[in-house]
Amino acid sequence: MRRFKVFKSLVTDSLDTITTGSKRYHLWMGLLTIIMLAGMYCYSIQLDEGLSVTGMTDRVSWGLYISNFTFLVGVAAAAVMLVMPTYILKDIDFKQAVLIGEGLAVAALIMCLAFVIADMGGPAVLWHMIPGIGVFNFPDSMLTWDVIVLNGYLFLNISIPFYILFRHYQGKDSNPKVYIPGAILSVFWAVAIHLVTAFLYQGLQARPFWNNALLGPRFLASAFAAGPALIILVLGIIKSFSSFKVKDETIKKIAMIVTVAAQINLIMLISELFKEFYAPTHHSESAFYLFFGLHGKTALLPWIWTSISLNVLAVVMLTFGRFRNNFKTLYFCCFILFVAIWIEKGFGLIVPGFIPGPYGKIAEYTPTGIEIGVTLGIWALGAFVFTILAKTAIGIETGEMRYGKKTS
């Protein structure tokens, strides 16, 4: 009974917290709402006319939505890089960062699910996928595995921080016996969501560009670079806009993680390039298309070369402690790294898988305005969710929000 009362008060308190804030905060939320509404409008057009309003065709049948989905799975998985040291190695440093990381994971997962649904031809019959009342083709279809691991991960990432915050809200300490098993589980789980998502593509013998053993590991490396990079940026923003204390040490440690992951990612890229171009076969055509263009079709060239140069630049700069420990350059590096990996794991991975087609046909793909609108809308949704989660968590952690304490 008491618990219920506390929960009720938590909900009202957090409602209070998220509806009050500085002018900038309101502006930010208002902006996000507008983008979300625009995205919903675009989606309503798509629902009405069908997926023909997107740039996708029979030749390139996955595009921007699935690209973003793939990338965001990586971002979600990255929360684990912070969970591990905090909860298990008792590295107190990360404690605050991890709550932010898990909030980020929740927001990323919600975006993932939204992107998958946006990509479906028949969202109205999605219940066909619900085990029990529909038919769940488990374990044959990797997509069903993905549904399981993503939802499981979402559950873990909601419940662990919720437990901790709920205890802190009452002014009590959280019991490690309760959350450590969950934290350990989520460590394995994060690796699983990423590997399974990679297997989604890796398992298709029809698409040689994806059907290579390095895909899974490379997913992991790039995820552990892009995710923490985003966390650093977010911590930087939070640090300057709220009273939430994040130690410089914490950020520097995360920067170390980013650096190592980005270096490994680059090594794997080199290995991939070597395999494709040292002794090119028929199966290297997608890579040729991606990096050099095929038969005058070069739509992806500017993207991938931007990505590679940003990637290399970021890795070189991060490798030198002088740049890594200077916050200005660190934020810059994290930003360009994030963009580079977004291109590489999104567009640069999904689209060339379809080009050239099974019989060598080269049909290019350009997203339409509506597709971009929906995509932006979903990103805004993610930012919105994250802001709410982070603001509540910060409120509790800084002690502004406490059970029994009146919040204005």
Partner 1 sequence: MSEEKKWYNFDLGFTKQTAKTGTCGCGKSEGSCGSKQQPKTTIQKEEISEEAFFEAAVDASIGEERHKDGFDQVFEVKMDRRSAFRKLTASLLIGAGAVNTSCSITAGDASKEKAQIDWEEQFKGNYKLMTDDEKEATVNRLMRSYELRTGKNLSMTAENAKENVLFGYAFNISKCQGYMNCVSACVEENNQDRNSQMQYIRIHEMKDGNGFKFNDADDNYYHEVPAEGHFYMGTQCFHCDNPPCVDVCPVQATWREDDGLVVIDYDWCVGCRYCMAACPYDGRRFNWSKPEVPEKEVNKNQHYLGNRVRKKGVMEKCTFCVQRSRKGENPACVDACPTGARIFGNLLDPDSTIRWVLENKKVFRLKEDLGTEPKFWYFMD
Using CB under 8 A, list all residues that contact partner 1.
49-52, 54, 56-58, 61-62, 116, 119-122, 124-129, 132-137, 140-144, 147, 200-201, 203-207, 285, 353-354, 356-361
Q: Nearer to partner 1 by C-beta: 132 or 404?
A: 132
Q: Are 144 and 101 in contact (CB under 8 A)?
A: no
| 355 bridge partner residues | none
Output phi, psi for 237, to 5 deg: -65, -45
What is the C-alpha separation between 170 and 164, in angstroms, rounded?
A: 10
Whether omega before 139 lies within 30 degrees of 0, making that bond cis, reads: yes
Q: How far is the CB of 266 from partner 1 (least distance, A)?
A: 28
Q: Are 80 and 187 in contact (CB under 8 A)?
A: yes
Q: Nearer to partner 1 by C-beta: 118 or 318?
A: 118
Q: How far is the CB of 325 from partner 1 (least distance, A)?
A: 44
Residues 6 or more apart whose Cβ sits within 8 Å of residue 177: none
State the residue for tokens 């625009």: 38
Q: How far is the CB of 133 from partner 1 (least distance, A)?
A: 6
Q: Nearer to partner 1 by C-beta: 205 or 408?
A: 205
Q: How far is the CB of 283 from partner 1 (least distance, A)?
A: 11
Q: Nearer to partner 1 by C-beta: 141 or 175?
A: 141
State the residue for tokens 């931007």: 306
Q: Nearer to partner 1 by C-beta: 57 or 170?
A: 57
| 294 bridge partner residues | 297
Q: Nearer to partner 1 by C-beta: 181 or 360?
A: 360
Q: How far is the CB of 307 from partner 1 (least distance, A)?
A: 23
Residues 6 or more apart whose Cβ sits within 8 Å of residue 182: 156, 159, 160, 163
User: Of the candidates 105, 263, 258, which has an alpha carbon nearest to the alpha carbon of residue 190?
Assistant: 105
Q: How far is the CB of 216 from partner 1 (least distance, A)?
A: 17
Cα torsion at 194, 196, 202, 205 (round to 10°)? -170
Q: Nearer to partner 1 by C-beta: 278 or 359?
A: 359
Q: How far is the CB of 121 from partner 1 (least distance, A)?
A: 2
